[in-house]
Amino acid sequence: MTRSDPRLRLLAFVPSAQAPSETFIRANLRGLPFDTIAYFGDDLSWKRPWQGAYAASVLLSKALYRLGLRRAGTLPPSLVAWALCRRHRPDALIAEFGFHAVRMMEAAAWTGIPLVVQFHGSDASARSRLVPLRERYRRLLGLAAGVVAKSEPMRRTLLELGAPADRLVVSPCGADAGLFHGAAPGQVPPTFLAVGRFVAKKGPLLTIRAFAAALEQLPHGQATGLRLEMVGDGPLLAAARELVRELGLQDQVQLPGLCSPAEVAARMRTSRAFLQHSLVAPDGDSEGSPVSVMEAQLSGLPVVSTRHAGIPEVVLDGETGLLVDEGDVAGMAAAIARLAADPALAERLGRAAALRAGSAFTVGHHLEAVAGLVERVAAERRPSSRPA
């Protein structure tokens, strides 16, 4: 990827330095072609005083938010972010997740440094975010020089909240082409793989029920070889284990917990297809464009998933995978049974998936889109607004 200005300095603000679910966000920041300096909202590292100060300001902000003092809660991280702008003299700021961006957004107003905000999923869908933060989001989107959304539905939501239409880019985070490749779904046993947090919007319990129903649809000889691996952790993991026991699936379903990206990539290379029953959670939480779905497609796996959020933008029904409606357990079971019985179909869909994902849904495509937006807003910055 070419750079219009290799000296461009980017100051990044990220909620977590440790959450496994945000590993890809941190990796993408490292991949941007700039001098990127990141500060994290949960890293109270006193070996790095400025980092510790920012994390402490975020803790204070959270306490003020819990008291209902949201405007006041914006001030502590914004003050530290303002000081960091004076210290690092960045050309642009980037904040990951809308709920984190509102904490430090006033630094952009005070310094005149352009702010790019990247929304990811729950921050633009869950009622626990949108309802209490609606006023703050309107202020944020009025200040933002650029906005990144993960899907067309998310783009529409952000436009309704006041995002600038000419500075709103749709760009899924993408999959790592150096890691996710080489699946041969038509040449392996019918092992189905699911990867993701065990939370309501991922539908793990529905995936298990669909797999159980698929077992009943297949002839005995095919059903005995069917396997499901569900990688990940989260609040619904215990319920998933109980459901597996209840349905008598201990021999067919494995729940190994968290795995490294390399381990996930290896599992994809020995799987028939990827499963994810995404749906709108009871609190309104929705996906953006799930990274694991893009990783599976790039690996060369057909994906069985739902018509939810940005998934239909990535998975083409009947071409690179099979899609069902949210909550349609019977439809998902039929799709699983179909791929279990027809390895040639899995091979054909997987081959098309790898070609499509490689042309549009890699980390490289995402980095190019974000870097282009950052360079654009930095180039348009008023020279008089640079910190002294």
Domains of the chain: 9-174+363-385 (3.40.50.2000), 185-360 (3.40.50.2000)
pLDDT in tens, 175-201: 999 999 999 999 999 999 999 999 999
CA distances (Å), 338 to each of 55, 251, 333, in order? 50, 21, 9
Residue 62 CA to residue 15 CA, distance in Å, equals: 12
User: Is there a contact between 118 and 146 (Cβ–Cβ < 8 Å)?
Assistant: no
* Among 304, 367, 362, residue whose Cα is nearest residue 336: 304
pLDDT of residue 384: 43
Q: What is the pLDDT of residues 89-106, one digit of tens each?
A: 999 999 999 999 999 999
Q: Residue 133 and residue 288: Cα distance in Å, rounded?
A: 19
Note the pLDDT of residue 386: 46
Predicted confidence at residue 381, as pLDDT, reads 79
* pLDDT at position 54: 98
Q: How far apart are CA 279 and CA 209, in angstroms?
A: 15
Angle at 180 between CA 238 and CA 36, to 5 degrees: 90
For residue range 143-177, list pLDDT tens digits in order: 999 999 999 999 999 999 999 999 999 999 999 99
Q: Which residues of the chain have pLDDT under 50?
A: 1-4, 384-388
Distance of CA 249 to the CA centre of its chain: 30
Q: What is the pTM of this model?
A: 0.90
Q: Is the dihedral of CA 20, 22, 28, 34 positive or negative?
A: negative
Distance, in Å, from the CA atom of 110 to the CA atom of 100, rounded to the nearest integer, reads 18
Q: What is the pLDDT of residue 124?
A: 86
